[in-house]
Amino acid sequence: MDAGGPVMRIPRVVVAAAAAVLVVMWTISGALRVARPSPGVIDRGWDAVAGVQREPVLHAIAEAFAVVGTGVPVLLVTAAVALLVGALRGWSWSAFVVLAGLASALDVTGMKALSMRSRPDAAFGAGTSFPSGHTAGATLLAVVVILLVPRLAVRIAAASFAIAMAWSRTALHAHWLTDVLAGLLVGTATAVLLHAAWAAMLRRSERRRRPRRAGPVARDAILR
């Protein structure tokens, strides 16, 4: 079943770039652990203006995204995306959505443990700032939807969800701006790499299932 049409083929140069991004993110995580630099001018400047504590409506929206991005709510969002993708692309792609979400979470957890970067507000946890896991997870799901769901409105909604999640993390002082940008990169790169690998695996499986065409000798034997 593939009601969404042919699955998008990602150019090899894009896949290579995604792999390079993840290598760079892991390298930065290690550098943060070794050097333990103070937040830069951009991070401190953005943190000074991004907060919404004095804006009740915006603060409530940011808090809502914080809830959606973790625990049971994020599992429900992932399940909804998996069902949508499965209905359009087949249930093997539903499994891909679940596995990609798990891979992204493991990737982010490892980077956080390596970097041990302090958050703007320590109330959100100590040494778990880089990269933003909420942002990485939301971005991964958004990119998966963009790659697999051929509906412009759905793609716009997915991208908007990822951007809003990224905004909410700095609005609550849960992350520095560079943490959020790293989350966007990690989520995108992970989605691209795993999509390319999964699509290649399905193509190989499809080729193995196709019956081989009989050659001239085999045809003669059949006719006899």
Taking Cα atoms as reference points, which of 176, 81, 96, 187 lies closest to residue 134?
187
pLDDT at 126: 79
Percentage of the chain beyond pLDDT 90 is: 79
pTM recorded for the entire structure: 0.89
| Per-residue pLDDT at 215 | 52
Report the pLDDT value the prediction gives residue 221, as an integer from 0 to 100. 46
Query: Which segments of 53-104 are extended strands (E)?
Result: none
pLDDT attached to residue 224: 46
- Dump the DSSP string for 110-127: HHHHHH-PPPSSGGG-SS
For the record, the structure tokens of 182 come out as 């790293």
- Predicted pLDDT at 222: 42
Q: Considering the chain, what is the average pLDDT of its residues?
A: 90
pLDDT, tens digit, for every residue of 25-68?
999 999 999 999 999 999 999 999 999 989 999 999 999 999 99
C-alpha 34/C-alpha 109 separation (Å) is 18
Predicted local confidence at residue 7, as pLDDT = 80
Write down the domain spans for the chain.
55-206
Q: Residue 208: its pLDDT value, please?
A: 81
Report residues of the chain scoring pLDDT below 70.
Answer: 1-5, 210-224
Residue found by looking up tokens 């539903």 in the block: 94
Non-local CB neighbours of 122 within 8 Å, separated by 6+ positions: none
